[in-house]
Amino acid sequence: MPRMRSRSQSQQSQQSQPVTTEYTNFRSKVNEWFQDVYADVDGSTGYLVKQPKGFYGSKVRSLVRYIYHQSSEVKAIQANQQIKASSMCLYLFHIFKYLSEYILPALFSFLSAYLYYTTDIPPSYIPTYNYTEPVLNTTNWFPTVAEAGSLLGDLVHTTLSVPVTFFASTLDRTLHLKESLDVVQSNSQKLFYTPMIAIGVYIGSFVLLKCFLNMQHLLSTQLALWAYQGLFLKETEEAIERAVTSIVRPYLVSYYEQLLFQSSESQQIDPASRNALKSLYLTYNNDMELLRETLHERADEYIRSIPFAEMLVLGRLSKQYMAALYALIRDSSEHLSSTLFELNQQLLQPIVTKRQLTY
């Protein structure tokens, strides 16, 4: 019995030894693939690096970019972002907005009124009348009745006009009424048109600047839309990457683990699994990279068949993403708003089955 037992153990060791030797290179290659899955992952963010160098990272990055650029929503937003204003232009608009609201209308009206008032206008011609005193006829000592009446009238006129003239001259010397009337008479045209011009310029400049303020408001709204669009595009790409890696990485890790287990010396491997490994090894022994390429192509075909909205849901969208989506639906153009509204309706539909790639 001891001889039989030792003979059976030696036969088993002889059978297991060739297996280990045969699959040594195979196992080392699978281990390299295993390490490549985590080689291009940024430890601080958990996402792939921008420029992956490994096979897995390059494949996943190209797949994410393919799904990202095939989206009609992404294309609509990118087409809407063709024209952008520079930051300096926006800064100047903000300064101009402040000046337009508080300074420029009053400044324009004051300058126009001042320029008009200080402009020399030739004075209008005012006719003068020379009053001559009547000459009394002193040749006749005995005036006629008409002459006596005229003398009496002049005497009464002189008697009554003396206090009135004295009072008027006193009031004129005190209040300078004659000079004031002369100034008003000579500058009556300026005094009338100056406030009218000031009011007209103020209203015109206010309307003109209001148009510029509306332009600035529209530009600020567009700037906010660009910010929401940038957030939407960034979150969309990250959600697609999360969805892709949540499907591809478990699939590859599970497959690599299965290959390592089947090529090990464990006695728990059934003959069917061992034969399947041997068949796989004989098929791809001369070109092991073809096996990895085949695995990735199978994963790519599976992921490309998933609808875009379902891909976003699998990527676990954030609250900021939904807020940006609602803002774009509300303030964007009609075409973009309708496109994003359809996406929002698709995102609200529940997903019944969980996506999982099997081999």
The 10s digit of each residue's pLDDT in 164-176 is 665 666 655 665 5
Taking the whole predicted model, whether its pTM rises above 0.85 is answered as no
Helix (H, G, I), strand (E, B) or coil at 41: strand
- For the CA atoms of 163, 165, 167, 172, the dihedral, rounded to the nearest 10 degrees, stands at -170
Q: What is the pLDDT of residues 335-355, one digit of tens each?
A: 889 999 999 999 988 765 566
Domain ranges of the chain: 17-83+232-347
CB 273 within 8 A of CB 262: yes
Q: What is the pLDDT of residues 227-285, one digit of tens each?
A: 899 999 999 999 999 999 999 999 999 999 999 888 887 777 788 888 888 888 888 88
**Residues 209-216, mean pLDDT to the nearest whole number:** 77
**Angle ∠(80,83,87) on CA atoms, nearest 5:** 120
Rg value, the chain, Cα: 50
- What whole-number distance in Å separates Cα of residue 140 and Cα of residue 124? 48
Task: Give the phi and the psi of residue 257 in degrees, each rounded to 5.
Answer: -60, -40
Query: How far, in Å, are 31, 152, 238, 248 from residue 297 at the CA level?
Result: 20, 134, 22, 11
- What whole-number distance in Å separates Cα of residue 345 and Cα of residue 359? 33
Query: How far, in Å, are 321, 322, 342, 355 from residue 243 at the CA level?
Result: 15, 17, 21, 10
Q: What is the pLDDT of residues 287-341, one digit of tens each?
A: 889 999 999 999 999 999 999 999 999 999 988 899 999 999 998 888 889 999 9
CB 356 within 8 A of CB 253: no
